[in-house]
Amino acid sequence: MPPDDKFVAMMEAKADIDLRLGDFSPRSQLKLPQHFIEQARFPVIDYHNHLDSLDPLDVLRVLDACGIEKIVNITMRTGQDALDTLDRFQRAAPDRFASIGWMDWTGIERHDFLRLSLDRLERLVDHGVRGIKFWKDLGLSVRDASGRLLRINDERLAPLFDKAAELGVPVMFHTADPDAFFAPIDQFNERYEELAAHPEWSFYGSEVSKYNLLAQRNAVIARHPRTKFVCAHLAENGEDLAAVADILDRYPNLSVDISARANELGRQPYTARRFFLRYPDRILFGTDLLPEIAMYRLYFRLLETADEYFDYPSHASRQGRWHIYGLFLPDEVLRKVYYENACKLLGL
């Protein structure tokens, strides 16, 4: 076989590789400056985490290594289990742990469910919680005694939001999910791999659209101007920061956290940086990821450096096949986002 033919045959053989998409893990050939920040430039409060199953002493070792001064456990437990969990962390280090309670839908079929819920909220606050969280089950799966899907802005829930204002605790909303979770799991879905691995996370074809859910949530925020609200995960609109800016402009009682959205912020660095500079008093640092040293340091790298094209912190499964860029935020913004904004909401 002539030399040219051998070369062609060799190249064709190399190209005939059966590689599964899940096994494709390319390594960037870019040669760029890299900055690895061991501790944040200023004290940090992680305002959004879930620690129920963890050992407080293990968490403290990670916090100390990364300069995290305080962490907020949003318990996913209810009733006495929630109070016991709160006590376990408070005994370990009362100055390092704070807690946010979880809305308990047990007994929703009862005629006195509202009174029951108000009593539960008071009991949680008496026990030291610094807020109450309404999860995405409200609007998507929680049904009332008649079997109807309970709307987020149902008037029957209004006294709960008023009670939170009276007690001086913020209400956190996690309403809906990323846009990809409401789209078909097909070749056009940018989070195909994640959803293919976890199809139960998909809400495609659900009874209510994402933007109807967000409209219901926004109606609650507008209806209760005395109540402080925190919309987790960039108000579930990290793909559209202009929409997040719009609700921040409309509702002065609203803040947002950045938990589990480093992937979204870092792939739109110019837009994200402008967003932070415009709303430094309304953005909270949070992670919603298991406390790990490497995870926190990636968040610091996102917020503090001008590094380009690096991995984002995520759960075990990546949230999208892309990399992120640093936002190199100024000190006056970092102080507020890392610490000062959370201090105000926690009453510190």
141 in any annotated domain: yes
Separation of alpha carbons 44 and 22, rounded Å? 35
32 in any annotated domain: no
pLDDT along the chain (348 residues), means of 10: 61 66 82 90 98 98 97 97 97 97 97 97 97 98 96 98 98 97 95 92 94 97 98 98 98 98 98 98 97 97 97 83 96 98 95
272 in any annotated domain: yes
Q: How far is residue 263 from each of residues 40, 96, 310, measured CA to CA in Å?
A: 19, 27, 10
1 in any annotated domain: no
pLDDT given at position 203: 95
pLDDT given at position 166: 98
Q: Which long-range contacts (CB under 8 A, 24 or more apart) does 276-282 make?
A: 276/327, 276/329, 276/333, 276/337, 277/329, 277/330, 277/333, 278/245, 279/245, 279/248, 280/332, 280/333, 280/336, 280/337, 281/336, 281/341, 282/248, 282/254, 282/255, 282/256, 282/341
8 in any annotated domain: no
Domain that residue 61 falls in:
40-346
pLDDT given at position 29: 87
Number of domains in the chain: 1
| CATH code of the domain in which 107 resides | 3.20.20.140
334 in any annotated domain: yes
3 in any annotated domain: no
The pTM (predicted TM-score) of the whole model is 0.93
Who's near 323: CB < 8 A, 6+ residues apart?
28, 266, 267, 309, 310, 311, 312
- Render pLDDT for 278-327 as a digit per residue (tens, 0 to 9): 999 999 999 999 999 999 999 999 999 999 999 999 876 678 889 999 99
35 in any annotated domain: no
